[in-house]
């Protein structure tokens, strides 16, 4: 699908252009598109459609408009109606990458701004502007649309200026001069356009007109705003006035009279600009900005990151700022030869300034004084490359503010910042797009386009490090027969650092570059660097590093600070440390001679992770069943609140997963202990797939070590996670043997918990008697060990089974008892579950307002504790009382939110429930085709998830939808299937609902006796179970049937029976 706002608003799909409707409808669509993939508050959408004062019926009209929009989108794309997503606070339009013309425009502009080639940039700017079909949001009414349109118009003009800048740089002044004249006439106060026009006029020999244009602007600014042109434009005016030949194009400058008097030779020591310099537009701009407030900038970063390339690129771009010349010096701070001493450095700089060897002062202090004196009245640029320390740089700093200095170093050189006022620019690796652009520039677009995925993988393997990328590209360029995939194989199969080198040039190698930094470290810092290579996760923290190195925290902090300053460790966020991928490989290489030290360190780290995770888990769920732990080798962290514990677990989640996998690969006991420790947290965060992966890793390690307690703990965890993911057969496959082991071991608490998951799995599989066989003993075990929380949770579960058996009063009693316990012990999670099931029971018994209040309370609790699984389920069940009281808007809102959340957390059973809830809304609103589609999807998903209740609910809804749509044959077949499956699974409530649908089908066909028989059976079931809504519907049906046949003479006796 395509969304277009750069011109008249359009939405198009495979089926053509969508019919968006009138002006208010288009305004609504525009607001959704301009806020694509974000929730737009209902109030703002109303303002977009009706202005600041929407009419009284705006909410209903808005609902209708959105329904109309969904239909319009569905007409041009299958499933297009799902593009508009309902949220509790508003609506969201889903737009995929590449579908919005504004996004495409911005991407092209970004690429144009990133290139240094004017011709290439001009082509990209032109392509971007070609996407415009007229003024943005043409004809869309309203203040909001006008604000959007105004901003986009400014953006269009800004990009137009950038395009003209590039065309001028390409020597197209004769072509653009007329275009600029028109643009300046339309925008007379736009100074950038005015400057471009002046320059173009000057270059085509119309100097007088260029000066006249400036005078015109000068007068306008003075008269209308009381200001003068910017200093840059004033300077351009002066240069045009003076006939400055350097303003002309390169070709014309070369045609100037060569007999003119030339200035004396000045130093031009900058090495050649790096060929194919790519990206870094933000860093180049940062250097520009820093030199506005500081005279010295240090560019720091890890070896191979491109510090020198950036410094030289910026220096060449800004050479005009230094008309008296540029000085360059490689200080050899990190090199195979010794660093340059200050006297050698000063001597070289002075010789560059024309001072012969015989005139050099004798001492370094005198040399420094002469150096500063010579630069005092000059405008020069100084590049001091590859510095080791601030002391090495300080004597080489000019005393004049007219001489900017760029210093590059692998160290931050904090002394320069503290004492000399230097600004610091830390250079990171390239962004993925920049890496790909660099590779493309060296090996050619054709090879990258032929293997785009392999090219992206290559940039990842190179860690986006410019040196590594250039080496890889050099290999590919010199071996044209080699595909990128072939070279990837070489990098992944062999030693990556060995491959990232140029054989004939020993200095051009990633490992050699890292060697220079490593050798500068002291012994303690080297050891810390090596040990960091033993950390399997993506990052680490100071307490973890202290445990790793077996050092006091303060000493570990000093060593980490040295590594950060040397750019051998990064700080991606406050308090967190990270190593570049290639540096981590290098650190691991360096542990070859100290492998045992690294292994011991890793064991200390894993032990610290385990006991700190246990401390956090204890705060979150103090009654949870856990394996007995080995004693702690290091002091773990402690926590005082749920918030604090969750924050730590969230931050360390990836590290804990990496530790479990690494330990499992080595069959270490910490694998199953740590997997056991994170179980409750992963359940709370509904990270089902990750949880499953880690529990299976722990089981693998326990089985390899024949550790029966560890195996039982992991099967316990797997029963829990399979239940959460809706795979109830797998939950029982792991849960039953785990429960048997716990019973034999006399571990009542663990037996109770795993029996709970087995019981709930049976419940959701429709095996209710078997469910109670697990749940009743689980409740008894919890009572034995005095676990009140566990007892209450099992009572909730027993209540859920009673709900399915139609024993609503018994369910209510169980959950009211559970709620009393949970209020007593302060279990917010348990309170939520009790409120939810009480609400379901109240709805079944016909008390709809209480049902809504109870389930709303449950929803608020779930949201307050972040329990997303419960949030999704309660948004399904709360739709029932809303549908029964014909409040379809609320029901549909909750149903849509439930479906979105269920998809997000990946629970198919809840998706089926949400689709059934929405199908019930569709039936109530007469949208029978929508009900059929949603019901069909629900049945399919529920069958795949082995969720029989969802299947039967969906079949009942489908049968009713077929009946109302006049498809009697399909309705009969579907309801027969629903009755058979409900009876087989003991779903008395569902069977009663299905029988009532059958009664309606028979009545529609004029079959009064079968209709009465089916309704009577439904009434009996609903009376027996106490399902008030169903009983009332069956009663009403029989009463209507009696009235229909009573007027007939000798009416059938079956009605009275």
Best CA proximity match to 119, nearest among 157, 163, 156, 158: 163
19 and 29 Cβ atoms separated by less than 8 Å: no
Given 394, 426, 458, the domain boundary residue is 426
Residue 793 covered by a domain: no
Query: Looking at the domain assignment, is residue 685 inside a domain?
Result: no
Closest CA to 647 of 562, 576, 557: 576
Tell me whether residue 510 is in a domain.
yes
> 1037 vs 765, which has greater pLDDT?
1037
Q: Of 47-56, 174-183, 503-512, 887-896, give the lowest mean pLDDT range.
A: 503-512
**The two structure tokens encoding residue 1026:** 């106490």
Task: Label residue 275 by pLDDT band (50, 70, 90).
Answer: low
Say if residue 816's pLDDT is above 50. yes
Q: Please report the pLDDT score of residue 245 as a whole number.
A: 77
400 and 447 co-located in one domain: no
pLDDT tops 80 at residue 284: yes
SS (H, E, C) 587-602: HHHHCHHHHHHHHHHH
Confidence of residue 894 (pLDDT cuts 50, 70, 90): very high
pLDDT of residue 222: 81
Asked if the structure places residue 479 within a domain, the reply is: yes
Q: Where are the beta strands (DSSP E) in 369-414?
A: 381-387, 405-409
Overall average pLDDT of the 444-472 stretch: 88
DSSP state of 766: T
493 inside domain? yes
Report pLDDT digits (tens) over 1002-1012. Answer: 999 999 999 99
- Give the integer Cα–Cα distance in Å for 298 and 477: 34
Count of H helices and E strands in the chain? Answer: 52, 16
Secondary structure of residue 295 in the 3-state scheme:
coil
pLDDT score recorded for residue 1057: 47
- Number of compact structural domains in the chain: 2
Burial class of 116 by CB neighbour count within 10 A (0 to 12, 13 to 18, 19+): middle
Claim to verify: residue 448 and residue 416 sit in the same structural domain: no
Lowest mean pLDDT, pick from 41-55, 562-576, 1022-1036: 41-55
Residues 466, 367: one domain?
A: no
- The two three-digit tokens of residue 315, written as one number: 């220096």
Q: Which domain holds residue 310?
A: 281-426
Q: Identify whether 386 is part of a domain.
A: yes
Please indicate, yes or no, whether residues 439 and 408 belong to a single structural domain of this protein. no
Q: State percent of the chain over pLDDT 90.
A: 43
Q: For 393-538, where are the E strands, in sequence order?
A: 405-409, 423-426, 501-502, 505-509
421 and 506 share one domain: no
**Residues 487 and 356 placed together within one structural domain of the fold:** no
CA 890/CA 664 separation, integer angstroms = 49
Q: What is the mean pLDDT of residues 407-435?
A: 91
Q: Is residue 173 part of a domain?
A: no
What is the reported pTM? 0.57
CA 837 to chain centre: 35
pLDDT at 1056: 47
- CA–centroid distance for 68 within its chain: 32
Write the CA distances from 28 to 33, 55, 195, integer angstroms: 9, 15, 41
Residue 936 has pLDDT above 90, yes or no: yes
Confidence of residue 493 (pLDDT cuts 50, 70, 90): low
Distances 814 to 349, 623, 792 between C-alpha atoms, Å: 89, 21, 9
Task: Return the higher-pLDDT residue of 259 and 612.
Answer: 612
954-980 pLDDT per residue, tens: 999 999 999 999 999 999 999 999 999
DSSP letter at 247?
Answer: G
Using 50, 70 and 90 to split pLDDT, how confident is the model at 251? Answer: very low
Q: Which of 426, 460, 485 is the last residue of a domain?
A: 426
Structure tokens at 478: 């010199």
390 and 492 both lie in a single domain: no
- Residues 437, 310 share a domain: no
Q: Is 431 helix (H, G, I), strand (E, B) or coil?
A: coil
Q: Which residue has the tokens 């009790």?
A: 834
The H or E element containing residue 540 is strand 540-541
**Under 8 Å CB-to-CB from 826, ≥6 apart: which residues?**
none
- CA-wise closest residue to 745 among 793, 713, 771, 787: 713
- The percentage of residues in the chain with a pLDDT greater than 70, rounded to a whole number, is 95
- Residue 316 burial (CB count, 10 A): 16
DSSP 623-656: T---PPPPPPSSPPP--SSHHHHHHHHHHHHHHH
Question: E strands along 806-957, which residues?
Answer: none
Mean pLDDT, the chain, as a whole number?
87
Both tokens assigned to 951: 């299947």
The token duo for 417 is 């910042």
pLDDT tens digits for range 587-629: 888 886 677 888 999 999 999 999 999 999 999 888 788 888 9
Query: How many angstroms separate the most distant Cα atoms in the chain?
Result: 137
Tally of CB atoms within 10 A around 97: 9
| DSSP-derived 3-state class of residue 571 | strand
**Which residues, 6 or more positions from 782, have their beta carbon under 8 angstroms from its beta carbon?**
749, 752, 788, 790, 791, 794
Query: Residue 583: is its pLDDT beyond 90?
Result: no
Say whether both 387 and 446 belong to one domain. no
Query: 114: closest CA among 279, 238, 1, 4?
Result: 279
Verify that 437 and 406 share a domain, yes or no.
Answer: no
Between these two residues, 264 and 575, which has the higher pLDDT value?
Answer: 575
**CATH at residue 336:** 3.40.50.300
What pLDDT score was predicted for residue 504?
58
User: Of 455, 485, 514, which residue sits at a domain end?
Assistant: 514
Residues 332 and 296 in one domain: yes
Q: Are residues 375 and 438 in the same domain?
A: no
State residue 489's pLDDT score.
Answer: 84
Residue 299: is its pLDDT beyond 90? yes
Q: Tell me whether residue 443 is in a domain.
A: yes
């Amino acid at each position: 699908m395509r969304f277009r706002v750069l011109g008249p608003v359009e939405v198009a799909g495979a089926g053509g252009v969508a019919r968006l409707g009138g002006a208010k409808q288009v305004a609504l669509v525009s607001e959704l598109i301009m806020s694509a993939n974000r929730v737009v508050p209902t109030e703002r959408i109303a303002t977009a459609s009706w202005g600041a004062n929407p009419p009284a019926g705006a909410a209903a009209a808005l609902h209708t408009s959105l329904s109309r929009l969904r239909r319009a989108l569905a007409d041009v794309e299958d499933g297009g109606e799902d593009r508009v997503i309902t949220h509790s606070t508003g609506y969201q339009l889903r737009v995929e990458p590449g579908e919005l013309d504004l996004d495409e425009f911005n991407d092209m502009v970004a690429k144009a701004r990133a290139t240094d080639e004017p011709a290439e940039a001009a082509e990209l700017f032109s392509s971007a502007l070609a996407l415009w079909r007229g003024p943005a949001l043409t004809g869309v009414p309203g203040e909001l649309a006008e604000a959007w349109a105004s901003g986009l118009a400014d953006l269009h003009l800004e990009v137009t200026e950038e395009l003209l800048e590039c065309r001028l740089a390409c020597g197209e002044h004769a072509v653009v001069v007329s275009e600029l004249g028109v643009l300046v006439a339309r925008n007379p106060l736009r100074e950038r356009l005015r400057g471009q026009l002046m320059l173009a006029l000057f270059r085509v020999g119309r100097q007088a007109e260029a000066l006249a244009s400036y005078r015109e602007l000068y007068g306008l600014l003075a008269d209308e705003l009381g200001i003068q042109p910017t200093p840059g434009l004033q300077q351009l005016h002066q240069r045009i006035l003076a006939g400055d030949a350097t303003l002309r194009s390169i070709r014309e400058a070369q045609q100037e009279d060569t007999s003119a008097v030339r200035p004396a030779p000045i130093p031009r020591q900058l090495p050649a600009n790096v060929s194919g310099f790519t990206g870094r537009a933000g860093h180049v701009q940062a250097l520009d900005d820093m030199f506005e407030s500081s005279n010295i900038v240090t560019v720091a970063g890890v070896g191979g990151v491109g510090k020198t390339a950036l410094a030289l690129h910026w220096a060449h771009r800004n050479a005009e700022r230094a008309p008296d010349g540029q000085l360059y010096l490689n200080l050899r701070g990190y090199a195979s030869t010794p660093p340059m001493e200050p006297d050698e450095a000063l001597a070289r700089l002075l010789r560059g300034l024309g001072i012969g060897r015989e005139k050099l002062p004798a001492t370094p202090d005198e040399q420094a004084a002469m150096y500063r004196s010579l630069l005092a009245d000059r405008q020069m640029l100084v590049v001091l490359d590859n510095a080791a320390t601030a002391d090495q740089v300080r004597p080489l700093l000019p005393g004049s503010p007219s001489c900017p200095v760029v210093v590059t170093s692998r160290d931050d050189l904090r002394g320069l910042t503290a004492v000399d006022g230097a600004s610091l620019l830390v250079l990171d690796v390239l962004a993925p797009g920049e890496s790909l652009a660099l590779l493309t520039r060296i090996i050619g677009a054709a090879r990258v386009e032929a293997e785009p995925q392999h090219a992206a993988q290559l940039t990842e393997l190179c860690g986006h490090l410019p040196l590594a990328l250039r080496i890889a590209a050099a290999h590919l360029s010199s071996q044209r027969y080699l595909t990128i995939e072939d070279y990837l194989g070489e990098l992944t199969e062999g030693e990556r650092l060995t491959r990232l080198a140029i054989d004939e040039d020993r200095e051009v190698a990633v490992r050699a570059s890292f060697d220079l930094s490593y050798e500068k470290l002291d012994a303690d810092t080297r050891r810390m660097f090596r040990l960091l290579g033993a950390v399997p996760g993506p990052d680490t923290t100071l307490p973890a590093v202290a445990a790793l190195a077996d050092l006091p925290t303060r000493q570990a902090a000093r060593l980490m600070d040295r590594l950060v300053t040397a750019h051998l460790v990064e700080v991606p966020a406050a308090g967190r440390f990270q190593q570049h991928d290639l540096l981590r490989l290098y650190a691991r290489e360096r542990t070859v001679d100290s492998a045992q030290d690294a292994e011991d360190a890793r064991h200390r780290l894993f032990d610290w992770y385990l006991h700190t995770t246990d401390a956090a888990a204890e705060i979150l769920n103090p009654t949870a069943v856990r394996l007995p732990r080995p004693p702690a080798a290091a002091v773990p962290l402690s926590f005082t609140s749920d918030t604090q514990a969750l924050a730590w677990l969230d931050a360390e989640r990836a590290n804990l997963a990496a530790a479990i996998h690494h330990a499992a690969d080595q069959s270490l006991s910490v694998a199953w202990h740590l997997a056991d420790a994170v179980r409750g947290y992963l359940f709370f965060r509904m990270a089902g797939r990750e949880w499953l992966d880690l529990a299976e890793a722990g089981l693998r390690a326990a089985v390899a070590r024949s550790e029966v307690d560890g195996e039982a703990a992991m099967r316990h965890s797997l029963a829990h996670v399979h239940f959460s993911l809706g795979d109830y057969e797998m939950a029982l496959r792991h849960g039953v043997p785990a429960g048997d082991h716990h019973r034999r071991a006399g571990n009542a608490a663990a037996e109770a918990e795993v029996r709970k998951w087995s019981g709930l799995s049976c419940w959701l599989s429709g095996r209710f008697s078997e469910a109670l066989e697990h749940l009743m003993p689980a409740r008894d075990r919890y009572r034995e060990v005095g676990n009140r929380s566990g007892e209450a949770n099992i009572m909730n579960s027993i209540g859920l089974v009673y709900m399915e058996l139609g024993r609503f009063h018994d369910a209510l009693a169980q959950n009211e008892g559970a709620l009393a316990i949970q209020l007593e012990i302060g279990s917010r999670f348990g309170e939520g579950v009790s409120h939810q099931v009480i609400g379901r029971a109240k709805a079944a018994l016909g008390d709809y307002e209480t049902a809504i209040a109870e389930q709303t309370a449950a929803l608020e609790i779930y949201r307050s504790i972040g329990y997303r699984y419960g949030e999704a389920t309660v948004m399904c069940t709360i739709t029932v009382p809303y549908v029964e009281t014909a409040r379809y808007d609320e029901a549909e809102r909750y149903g849509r939110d439930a479906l979105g959340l269920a998809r997000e957390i990946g629970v198919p059973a809840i998706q089926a429930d949400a689709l059934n809830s929405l199908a019930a809304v569709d039936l109530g609103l007469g949208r029978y085709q929508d009900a059929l589609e949603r019901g069909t999807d629900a049945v399919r998903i529920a069958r795949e998830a082995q969720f029989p209740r969802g299947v039967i609910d969906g079949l009942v809804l489908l049968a009713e939808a077929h009946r109302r749509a006049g498809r009697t044959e399909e309705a009969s077949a579907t309801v027969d299937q629903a009755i058979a499956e409900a009876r087989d699974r003991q779903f008395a409530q569902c069977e009663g609902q299905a029988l009532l649908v059958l009664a309606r089908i028979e009545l529609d066909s004029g079959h009064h006796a079968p209709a009465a028989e089916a309704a009577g059976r439904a009434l009996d079931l609903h009376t027996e179970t106490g399902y008030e809504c169903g009983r009332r519907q069956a009663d009403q049906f029989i009463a209507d049937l009696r009235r229909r046949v009573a007027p007939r003479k000798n009416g059938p006796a079956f009605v009275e029976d």
